[in-house]
Amino acid sequence: MEIGKYIGLFLLKNQYCYVHGLGNLELVKRPGTHNGKELLAPHYEVIVTMGGSIDDNLANFIATNEQISISKAANALREYSMQARTDMAAGKEVPLPNLGRFIEEKGRVKFITDDNFRYTPAGIPTIKNSKQLEEQNARPVHKPTYPAPHKADSLNWSMIILATILILIVGGGIYAIYHYTTKDKVTNEIAIPVVRDTVVQAPKSVAPDTTQAHKDTVASQPAAPVMDSMQTYPFKMIIGNYPTMAKAEKRQANLKLNGTKTDILAKDSTSYLIIETINCRVRDTTHISDSLRRMFGFKGVSVLKQ
């Protein structure tokens, strides 16, 4: 495992690299100098400082690239450091490929950068400031020689409004025709009160006078009321039928919350009717029954027969 290669790669990537036992390697930029004959450009060199924080970043880097565990990479790095200190103590140099070499002077570790080492840092993206934007906007805009395309014609709102009004008028006319044609149908459920004929029985001892009895019967029979088609009458509409009084009263209470006034009529012991009184014309009862069916969801809406 080439530990020296990974030390160099990590150093160039992060500009620092801590190696336990050797120290902290840093990539430092040196300014340009004049040697009396020519001006030398700025350059980078690697230095070693004894400070630095102990971390496992280099071991993680080696483990990732070698596909081994971090502990195994840390052991290999420690062995490299111990061998390097042994070699330097013996007067040997410990090279780092393409970077330079470690040496020991007076018990301290030093690094000598290779003369051919060149390092170029990554570029920094520039951000246009407001002044540059103003100058750019102040430049004359090149106008094309060909004619600019015509804009799409704007919507003719007057025609749209006129068409909407016509649609509303036609729809209203259709609804009016439907309403007046359906309301002329008189429901078959309207009950017209009928008075049964009264039979008068003569005493047994006296012979019945059929002529007089017939006159009395005809005179006592009230005439059936004639309903005016344009007059409004109170009709009791059945809007609910429940098997118990408790359910009927609960439904009545819910309708009362919505402002609907109703009455309960006990038809028999298993039929309790919810009654709402509606004032309307005879010809409108069918239309009102349909409206009540949709409103209350009860299919058996009808006029109460009395």
Is 25 within a domain? Answer: yes
pLDDT in tens, 24-49: 888 888 888 877 788 777 888 888 88
Stretch 283-305: mean pLDDT: 85
By three-state DSSP, how is residue 44 classified? Answer: strand
Q: 12: part of which helix (H) or strand (E)?
A: helix 3-14
Is 200 within a domain? Answer: no
Is 118 within a domain? Answer: no
Residues 6+ apart with CB under 8 A from 197: 217, 221
Residue 194 predicted with pLDDT over 50: no
Average pLDDT, the chain: 78
pLDDT in tens, 78-89: 999 999 999 999
Domain count, the chain: 2
pLDDT in tens, 210-239: 555 445 554 455 555 566 777 888 888 898
Is 141 within a domain? Answer: no
Among the candidates 113, 140, 175, a domain finishes at 113
Q: What is the pTM of this model?
A: 0.39
Per-residue pLDDT band at 263 (split at 50, 70, 90): very high
Is 225 within a domain? Answer: no
Among the candidates 66, 82, 113, a domain finishes at 113
Q: Degrees (nearest 5) of the Cα angle 306, 227, 304?
A: 20
Domain that holds residue 273: 230-303
DSSP output for 166-221: HHHHHHHHHHHHHHHHHTTSPPTTPPPP-PPPPPPPPPTTS---HHHHHHHHHHHS
Select, from the ranges 54-58, 100-104, 291-295, the one with the highest average predicted confidence (pLDDT).
100-104
Is 175 within a domain? Answer: no
> Which contacts of 113-116 are long-range, i.e. CB under 8 A and separated by 24 or more positions?
113/45, 113/46
**How far is the first Cα of the chain from the last one, in angstroms, to the nearest whole number?**
109
Query: Per the structure block, which two tokens stand in for 268?
Result: 């028999």
By three-state DSSP, how is residue 26 classified? Answer: strand
Is 198 within a domain? Answer: no
Is 59 within a domain? Answer: yes
Tell me the CATH number at 248. Answer: 3.30.70.1070
Per-residue pLDDT band at 180 (split at 50, 70, 90): confident
By three-state DSSP, how is residue 101 classified? Answer: strand
Query: Per the structure block, which two tokens stand in for 89?
Result: 């103590």
Among the candidates 80, 113, 146, a domain finishes at 113
